[in-house]
């Protein structure tokens, strides 16, 4: 196995045993990006010299006997929605084309303190709105397993970067599935932590009551490792929860016994692809072999999740994106214009079609006369969705099901039909609405070789249990060892 196919855990061992330097590791990944990324297009920004400099600094620290962080010399790719000091951060939008943040997001500070090597900024759907990365203002990222297909979204670049071996791990954000769905479609692991587990400071807001940062990795050990680094309290995010961070890597290999797995009957209705369903059912059998009890549970309000999400998320987006007015930073329309024309020209030029659609939907849902009928009603149903999960988790440890209704679809297949695109989030958005934890892990392939993901959802702050349940499956299967061969 070449260096680029290794996990972060393996790369850390290779460095401590003296079998690889951080610089050699960085060079291998940079070479892989140089050769393959023109095909995949996962990255918006890679500064090779800066990457090598970070890697060399780690090697010097090691040589001089200084204490090294938990991710020393591990290249990490970063979704371009996270602020990186002195490094362009565009949200894949024309609006922020020239934006260079003067500060680091909390998670970036944490990665730097852990001696990680930031390898580049990855492509995404503009302002994280989308499920395919086709809404990027710059280009569409391709799925490393089939370049004709989408990698999922909105964190498609970060998922493709790990799947294509451009970095062993990466960060994404998940508002309605944007980590789990691309992880599923790219055959890797992706977690949305509990709301409040990871600080949102420096994450450019889409829908603040739903957004969470989380890792993409090849395996569960790396998930545990990344979470130990990025999770934890931060006073700069008022929704960050002050709870200690468990030593996820330490407990990972202890199986959960007894284990009761909930299967929501609503998840196996129409719209679920038969090959995906077959893989999920096989995974459930695997858990039964491992001693788990599988129990049917019900999430009766999940049928409203898409409607609720597209009201709550658009309402919050319309408010969050009001700041892009051409005055403070970002794009500003040229010419001598009065104030109102300058605002509207700036926003018409700077935002793409999907972002404009969401702002209009959200503004409408919040407008006087409609707010009670749409936004407030959606908040009430959101509570019912959360109550369903509380009820279900009183009967089981975790809930298992598909992450996405289908494997990766073709580029262009759904881009002209927003509703069809929104439906690809059907299994992931209720997790965000309820604020619970969710993870997608690889569990098989379609006949044509496209990856399929299994979703595990756990009660708030039970990431430790969720990781252990996932690790039981990983120990019994070899899906996590497969690597895409970029065509």
Residues that bind ligand GLN (CB under 6 A): 128-131, 154, 174-178, 206, 313, 425
Q: What is the nearest approach in angstroms of ligand GLN to the Cβ of residue 432?
A: 7
- Is the preceding omega at residue 415 within 30 degrees of 0, hence cis? no
- Residue 189 is inside which H or E element, if any? strand 189-192
Q: Are 159 and 182 in contact (CB under 8 A)?
A: yes
Q: What is the nearest approach in angstroms of ligand GLN to the Cβ of residue 397?
A: 25
Q: What is the nearest approach in angstroms of ligand GLN to the Cβ of residue 179?
A: 7
Q: Which token pair is 217?
A: 């990795």
Characterize 243-253 residue by residue with b for buried, 16 or more Cβ atoms within 10 angstroms of its Cβ, and e for exposed. Answer: eebbebbeebe
Euclidean distance between CA atoms 429 and 270, whole angstroms? 17
Euclidean distance between CA atoms 124 and 42, whole angstroms? 9
Closer CB to ligand GLN, 33 or 124, in the complex: 124
Residue 431 CB-half CA count within 13 A: 34
Q: Are 200 and 165 in contact (CB under 8 A)?
A: no
Q: What is the nearest approach in angstroms of ligand GLN to the Cβ of residue 246?
A: 25
Residues with Cβ within 8 Å of 475's Cβ and at least 6 positions away in sequence, in order, are: 253
Closer CB to ligand GLN, 326 or 438, in the complex: 438
Which position among 178, 199, 240, 430 bears the catalytic label? Answer: 178
154 catalytic residue (yes or no): yes
Closer CB to ligand GLN, 206 or 324, in the complex: 206
- Which residue from 270, 303, 290 is spatially nearest to 405, judged by alpha carbons? 270
Closer CB to ligand GLN, 306 or 384, in the complex: 306
First to last CA, the chain: 18
Which position among 6, 28, 32, 79 bears the catalytic label? Answer: 79
Which position among 154, 170, 199, 318 bears the catalytic label? Answer: 154
Closer CB to ligand GLN, 166 or 206, in the complex: 206
Euclidean distance between CA atoms 198 and 194, whole angstroms? 8
Q: Are 131 and 421 in contact (CB under 8 A)?
A: yes
Helices assigned H by DSSP within 17-114: 22-40, 48-63, 106-113
Closer CB to ligand GLN, 151 or 177, in the complex: 177
Euclidean distance between CA atoms 185 and 182, whole angstroms? 5
Do β-strands 169-174 and 75-79 pair in parallel, antiparallel, or remain unpaired? parallel
Q: Give 198's DSSP letter.
A: B
Q: What is the nearest approach in angstroms of ligand GLN to the Cβ of residue 131?
A: 4
DSSP-assigned letters across all residues of 338-385: -HHHHHHHHHHHHS-HHHHHHHHHHHHHHSTTTTIIIIIHHHHHHHHH
CB-closest chain residue to ligand GLN: 178
Q: What is the nearest approach in angstroms of ligand GLN to the Cβ of residue 307?
A: 13
Q: Give 480's DSSP letter.
A: G
**Location of structure tokens 């995404």:** 124
Closer CB to ligand GLN, 141 or 154, in the complex: 154
Closer CB to ligand GLN, 10 or 126, in the complex: 126
Q: What is the nearest approach in angstroms of ligand GLN to the Cβ of residue 355?
A: 10
Q: What is the nearest approach in angstroms of ligand GLN to the Cβ of residue 388?
A: 20
Residues with Cβ within 8 Å of 97's Cβ and at least 6 positions away in sequence, in order, are: 90, 137, 331
* Catalytic sites, residue numbers: 79, 154, 178
């Amino acid at each position: 196995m070449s260096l680029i196919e290794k996990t972060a855990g393996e790369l850390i061992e290779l460095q401590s045993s003296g079998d690889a330097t951080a610089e050699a590791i960085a060079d291998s990944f940079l070479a892989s990006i140089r050769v393959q990324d023109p095909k995949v297009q996962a990255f918006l920004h890679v500064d090779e010299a800066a990457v090598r400099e970070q890697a060399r600094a780690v090697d010097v620290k090691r040589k001089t006997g200084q204490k090294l962080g938990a991710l020393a010399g591990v290249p990490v790719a970063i979704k371009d929605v996270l602020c990186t000091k002195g490094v362009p951060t565009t949200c894949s939008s024309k609006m922020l084309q020239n934006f260079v943040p003067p500060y680091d997001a909390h998670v970036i500070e944490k990665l730097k303190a852990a001696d990680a090597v930031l390898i580049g900024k990855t492509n995404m759907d503009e302002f994280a709105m989308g499920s395919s990365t086709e809404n990027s203002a710059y280009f569409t990222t391709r799925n490393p397993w089939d370049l004709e297909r989408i990698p999922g979204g909105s964190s498609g670049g970060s998922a493709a970067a790990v799947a294509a071996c451009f970095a062993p791990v990466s960060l994404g954000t998940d508002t309605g599935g944007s980590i789990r769905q691309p992880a599923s479609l790219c055959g890797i692991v992706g977690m949305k932590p509990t709301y409040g587990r990871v600080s949102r400071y420096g994450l450019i807001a889409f829908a603040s009551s739903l957004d969470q940062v989380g890792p993409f990795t090849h395996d569960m050990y790396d998930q545990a490792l990344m979470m130990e680094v990025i999770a934890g309290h931060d006073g700069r995010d008022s929704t960050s929860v002050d709870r200690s961070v468990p030593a996820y890597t330490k407990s990972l290999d202890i199986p959960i016994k007894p284990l009761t797995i909930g299967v929501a009957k609503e998840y196996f209705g129409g719209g679920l692809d038969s090959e995906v369903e077959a893989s999920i059912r096989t995974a459930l059998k695997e858990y039964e072999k491992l001693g788990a009890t599988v129990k049917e549970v019900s999430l009766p309000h999940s049928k409203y999740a898409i409607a609720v999400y597209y009201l709550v998320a658009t309402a919050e987006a319309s408010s969050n994106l009001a700041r892009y007015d051409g005055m403070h930073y970002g794009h500003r329309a040229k010419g001598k214009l009065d104030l109102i024309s300058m605002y509207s020209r700036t926003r018409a030029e700077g935002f793409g079609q999907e972002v404009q659609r969401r702002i209009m939907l959200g503004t409408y849902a919040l407008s006087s006369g409609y707010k009670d009928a749409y936004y407030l009603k959606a908040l009430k149903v959101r509570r019912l969705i959360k109550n369903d999960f509380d009820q279900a988790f009183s009967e089981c440890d975790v809930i298992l099901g598909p992450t996405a209704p289908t494997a990766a679809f073709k580029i262009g297949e759904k881009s002209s039909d927003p509703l069809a695109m929104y439906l690809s989030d059907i299994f992931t958005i209720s997790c965000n609405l309820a604020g619970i934890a969710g993870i997608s892990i690889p569990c098989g392939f379609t006949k044509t070789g496209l990856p399929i993901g299994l979703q595990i959802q756990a009660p708030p702050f039970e990431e430790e249990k969720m990781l252990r349940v996932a690790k039981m499956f990983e120990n019994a299967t070899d899906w996590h060892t497969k690597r895409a061969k970029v065509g």
